[in-house]
Structure 1
Amino acid sequence: MKKQAFVLALIGGFGMVLSAQAETSVTLYGVVDTGYGYSKHEIHKDGIDYTAKSSGLHDSYLSGSRFGFQGVEDLGDGLRAVFILESGINPGNGTTVTDRVFHRESHVGLASDRWGSITMGRQYNLADPYFGVNATASMGDIDKTFGAASVRVDNMFIYQTPNMSGFQAGVGYAAEGAVVRTNVDPDANNQDRNSYLSLGVQYRDEALHAAATYDRVGNGEYANAATSWALVGSYDFGVAKLALGYGQDRYAKINGVGAYSNEALFGEVFTEAGSPVKGYEDYLATHDFKASNYYVGLSVPLAGGTVGMAWGRTASNLDDADKLGDYAGDQNIYSARYVYPLSKRTSLYVYGAYGTNIAYIEGLKAQEAGLGINHSF
């Protein structure tokens, strides 16, 4: 209650600032995305019999619902002060996603067209803006395949070069970064992962985009750091846009694995496989985990809207005899969506996805579908 009152007071305070000083460059922005959704997860294998279904109003299929404040102050000679404060919201019940007021982003810094930018605070790793190849959303999102496609890190410094004829590079570092991997259970997924390093380089023009990223994070109490690298690219042919990606994860999925599954189910699998561990993340860290990730996406204009289709595959070594063996399989997720814009800010959409061997668990299938409205302001 106190948290929500604080957020309301904060919004009101910013509203007065915007009204009284309209010449300042502080912007209130946001996204509200909600509609009807259905999901099902099931596995029936070697005595394990698990089914979970849900349906009804569902938030954020197309993009995460949020509100935020973004500011720019001209300091002269091409130098600017910049900041972003952004919070996730649940439109279905009006609450914020976590107990953090600005859990999505909260950072401040300096930017220059000549020297680049440096920002400090809670922010995304470089893979998040540099990937830019998503064709669908939700379970079909590229971050369900690549281990570091979209990671928020506390206490991070990021420097990015200016745009140099389409080229840009960046480096990020956090001495003690707490990586929030998912919003499914925020308290359980705030992981103290020690130091975090994020590197990226990209090229963009009107049709072509290509990027390479590398992330490394201290893996808690374990000796081996978790790493993730990726090469991604897309080309807009006019009649269609093709996106491709390949990369590898080692010793962990930095962004988490199994967000669409169930820890109790993992416990059953581990018991059957004779692998007593504290949890799935611990298992990956201590069993020389390695995964190769593949992504293909296609976007096509159709009837005033856009059709997006994607296939994400991640193949691990968990099916080795000294690991989960027959209880592990390669994850494949197939997804599609259609987005129809009613205006520049409002769109209707329909979405569906089907996945096999979710979180590398052999026989665990997932289905997801929904339709809704996405409005930005």
Structure 2
Amino acid sequence: MKLRASTAAVLLAATPAVYAQTSVTLYGRVDGGLEYLNHVANGSGGTSTRWSAEGGDWGTSMLGLKGVEDLGGGLTALFDLETALQIMNGTTGGGRMFSRRAYVGLSDERWGRVQMGRNLFIDSDGVWEFDPLVQQAVSSASLVRGRNWQQTSNNVEYHSPVFGGFDVQGQYAFGNQSRGFNDGAPDDFGRSDGIMLTYHSPLFDVRGIYDELRDPNGRFSNIFTASREYFVGANVRVSKFKIQGAYTHYAAPDTPAGLADSADHYWLGATYEPNQRWAVTAAGFYIKVGEGAGDAAHDPSGHATLYVLGTTYNLSKRTFLYGTVAYLRNSSHANFSVFATPRDANPNTSPLAGESQTGAYVGMMHNF
């Protein structure tokens, strides 16, 4: 929804600088539906089945404001303020006013874009495009316990123009702590960074990412919460099919001795779109955790395989219905969930070690 600059200024009670905006856009999406999950560990040594009304299963509900100002000569000032929403109880993401994005920047047609503030971490910004399930609640994030859909604060980012189909994105998130350059605020990430190289063409896309996500103490202490990541992914378009595959390696060299400190993640999927309204996606995801024991926060050596089938049906350009069903098989010591639940989360959706799990959800997404 486009707002005239003067109207936006009145509505937002902003400073006079807002009047200089060429345009301000109010945008967002709202996602709600029903969810089924079995074999959820109940804390009493057994498992239970859960039926629930859920928001954000296909994609995070969100509300945002973004604006641009033409400064002339190909130079543009920009900003974006965006928060996650949970429509089932009306709360915002993580108690923050703007949980997903809050940045300001400059964009130049020749030199690229620089922006500063809070944003999606670089792998979250880069992996979804190569995920057959586009990082739904069941997706590439499931078997890495949400490692690839985080946000970080204190970011400085650069996005290059496209040269011959190639572009580069770099991100550097300061820890902002005096006690140590790599440290971060309590309950937040430490200094983190990454670089992404992409090639796009009409027939295929290829992307490589290297990133470092540190814990508040500035260490790589857990493969799924604070680690180094090496990612390569590809999309191939053939007629009405899009085929997507990727490989990711995680390494956490500061993990306590004796615990698993590496993992390898693979996936392959395809989407069939016979017309503009309907699409069907099938995918398989596999995780292999390296040698080592586990504890409350660290996964032990083991492996799991996730099979997913999903569909969407467009009611209009802005509204669609969706349905997804998933089945997960754990090895004897693994307890991954079909949803991206941290190992020490409370409440948790994980099954008992070695148990399989089935999950499904249906719902509706509206974009505005």
Same fold (TM over 0.5): yes
| Corresponding residue of 2:85 | 89
| Corresponding residue of 2:5 | none
Q: Equivalent of 1:133, from 130, 135, 155? A: 130
| Corresponding residue of 2:262 | 290
| Corresponding residue of 1:307 | 280
Q: Does 1:369 align with 2:367?
A: no
Q: Secondary structure at the match of 1:69?
A: strand
CA distance in 2, matches of 1:368, 1:12: 46
Q: Does 1:154 align with 2:153?
A: yes
| Corresponding residue of 2:51 | 55
- Cα deviation, residue 332, structure 1: 1.7
| Corresponding residue of 1:107 | 103
Higher helix share: 1
- Cα deviation, residue 250, structure 1: 1.0
Q: Assess if the C-alpha contact under 8 Å between 1:140 and 1:333 holds in 2.
A: no
Q: Assess if the C-alpha contact under 8 Å between 2:41 and 2:48 holds in 1.
A: no
Q: Secondary structure at the match of 1:98?
A: helix
Q: Secondary structure at the match of 2:202?
A: coil
What amino acid is the match of 1:340? Y
Q: Does 1:316 align with 2:316?
A: no
CA distance in 2, matches of 1:221, 1:165: 41
- Cα deviation, residue 160, structure 1: 1.4
Q: Does 1:354 align with 2:353?
A: no
- Cα deviation, residue 331, structure 1: 2.1
- Cα deviation, residue 313, structure 1: 1.0
| Corresponding residue of 1:231 | 232
Deviations 1:333-353 (A, max 9, x none): 211111000111010111111
Deviations 1:141-183 (A, max 9, x none): 21234575332110010111111122101211112179xxxxx
Call closer, same or farther: CA 1:97–1:195 in 2, change over 3 Å: closer
Q: Secondary structure at the match of 1:93?
A: coil
TM-score with structure 2 length normalisation?
0.78
| Corresponding residue of 1:36 | 34
| Corresponding residue of 1:77 | 73
Structure 1 residues not aligned, in runs of 5+: 1-9, 179-188, 253-281
Call closer, same or farther: CA 1:11–1:339 in 2, change over 3 Å: farther
Aligned identity (percent) is: 26
Call closer, same or farther: CA 1:284–1:363 in 2, change over 3 Å: farther
CA distance in 2, matches of 1:286, 1:193: 24
Structure 2 residues not aligned, in runs of 5+: 1-7, 178-184, 222-226, 337-342, 344-351
Deviations 1:6-45 (A, max 9, x none): xxxx99824999xx9798311000101111111223469x
TM-score with structure 1 length normalisation?
0.76
- Cα deviation, residue 328, structure 1: 4.6
Q: Assess if the C-alpha contact under 8 Å between 1:139 and 1:368 holds in 2.
A: no
Q: Assess if the C-alpha contact under 8 Å between 2:251 and 2:261 holds in 1.
A: yes
